[in-house]
Amino acid sequence: MPQNQEDFVETVDKANAQARCHGDVAQRDQAVNLIEETGHTVILTPENNARVLRKIDLSILPLILGIYFLQALDKATIAYGSVFGLIDKAHLHGLEYSWLGSVVYLAQLVVQPIVAYILVKVPLGKFLAISVFVWGLVLSAMTAATTFPGLLVCRMLLGAFEAGIVGNINKAPAFIAVTQMWWRRREQPMRLGAWYAMNGITNMVGSLLTYALGHIQSPVFEAYQIIFLFFGLITVAFSFVVLAFMPDSPLTAKYLKKEDKLVAIERLRMNQQGIKSTVWKWDHIKEACLDLKTWLWFAMLFVISIPSGGISTFGPLIVQSFGFDQFKTVLFNIPFGAVQLVSTVGGAWLAMVWKVKGPVLMLLSIPPIIGCVMLLTIAHDGSHRGPLLVGYYLISVYPGITPLIYSWSAANTAGETKKKVTTAVLIVGQCTGNVIGPTLYTTAEAPLYTRGLRSNLALFVILIALYAINAVYLYILNTRHQQERERLGKERKVIDWSMQVVRTVDKDKETALPAGETQDNSLNDVTDIKNEDFVYVY
């Protein structure tokens, strides 16, 4: 790290020269501009790293958790509404209810290319606030929809405006961008896991709130309409909080002093992924489309999203098929959320401790396989409600899989445009799976839902094979980078500091980050494949 003016000038000159090798200097990461403006960099220490990380966690994470909690809650309202008379009152027949679940993801699928471009060009904080406000309005408007066409249009608009935030109750292109922009790769799994764990909290809190709302006797609104209106208005109100407090990047965060912004830059320099660039690069798009791991992650998200879309839409109806009334059905959905919470946070913690994601994903795929087998083989009668609930709760481990797939992708993709395009491709796979998922379940197949559960069982098995193939490919890419570093006269094997604990920078002890060649490409908006210093995470 440059510690004086001469070292700084040398570093900036080197960055400028390398930026020209990859295009125009203006196309480099915006972090370089801040370094030039201040005239110096900082040395990352355990103390300043912990201080800035704490500020980021206390300022950014609550906003992200709030947004994700509300989107998961808003999307789940259709499932809660189904328990409280939506299907009968709106006169839904055949696959109509299934399509109310699928159309959200179909809309997200259509708008993903637009979202990918917008996320490169517009301020991220403002984008989040506007998205939350509009989808809250749409959910509130669903109160007036009393027929299938009206509900279908509202759900379609809900999906379109949530597209930048979510792609099912799953991962989010804007949230992936936020995670890559604020946290080191070692820190990403726990943060991704934390906001995705809001799905579990949503199921618990949402079930309790729905239980209370379901008891309201209104001469004007049906119970399901009260649910739509209540959660929609809360979402609209929260959008103003996001607008006031969500910064667009670490470089514009008001709560970070200039020195803290430099610390944030040094923290993210380790990722070899850059911080922020607003230049749309077509060579990044080409690489993303030709990169095998893009399509492996696409396949993973497509496969996991089929059971995810089906179970999230029909979950309460599956529980109701065990012989419970509407209020007990909602209450028995609370443990489903608790298992989601434990599996998501536990999976993220294991990924951080083991510093790998493939083996953790394999581990998380086993309980849903067992749960599907139980629901397919155990008799659906009053004497087997306990075992049936256990099988259902074992399936509920699956939400821990999706955040790790996105975290795996986020940790192994570099280049601003490539990151956005890759995430968009993944969301397309996810949305496609979620469109298909609810159609494998129909209300006519109650109480067994055999077709849906059998397909889900096969897909969880396929996932394990995909994890193994991807891990092998990442090993091959790391080997190629080692050979390229050796050819350029660098160290063949380097430490991936983004996955390490920040240590002291005392000259007589292990340094937090090695100075020299391994950091040359970190702020030049270079893709992971073209950056020989990039280390892939298995």
The most distant pair of C-alpha atoms in the chain lies apart, rounded to whole Å, by 79
Report the mean per-residue pLDDT for the chain: 82
Whole-prediction pTM: 0.70
Inside any domain, residue 126: yes
CATH code, domain with 348? 1.20.1250.20
Q: How many domains does the chain have?
A: 1
Residue 264 identity (one-letter amino acid): A
State the average pLDDT over residues 525-538: 88
Task: Assess whether pLDDT exceeds 80 at residue 23.
Answer: no
Task: Assess whether pLDDT exceeds 50 at residue 31.
Answer: yes
Inside any domain, residue 488: no
CA distance 399 to 206: 17
CA distance 80 to 96: 16
CA distance 202 to 193: 14
Inside any domain, residue 486: no
CA distance 319 to 369: 18
The answer to whether 388 and 380 have CB atoms below 8 angstroms apart is: yes
Inside any domain, residue 24: no
pLDDT at 256 (0 to 100): 86
Higher-pLDDT residue of 27, 445 = 445
For the chain, first and last CA: distance in Å? 28
pLDDT tens digits, residue range 161-199? 877 665 433 345 677 677 777 888 778 767 877 777 787
Task: Assess whether pLDDT exceeds 80 at residue 52.
Answer: yes
Inside any domain, residue 525: no
Structural domain of 431: 50-272+281-478
pLDDT tens digits, residue range 483-511? 999 999 888 887 766 556 655 444 444 44
pLDDT tens digits, residue range 371-386? 999 999 999 888 899 9
pLDDT tens digits, residue range 111-158? 877 876 777 777 888 888 998 999 899 999 999 999 999 999 999 998
Higher-pLDDT residue of 328, 12 = 328
Inside any domain, residue 202: yes
Task: Assess whether pLDDT exceeds 50 at residue 13.
Answer: no
pLDDT tens digits, residue range 262-284? 888 788 776 655 555 557 688 88
Inside any domain, residue 92: yes
Inside any domain, residue 387: yes
pLDDT at 278 (0 to 100): 57
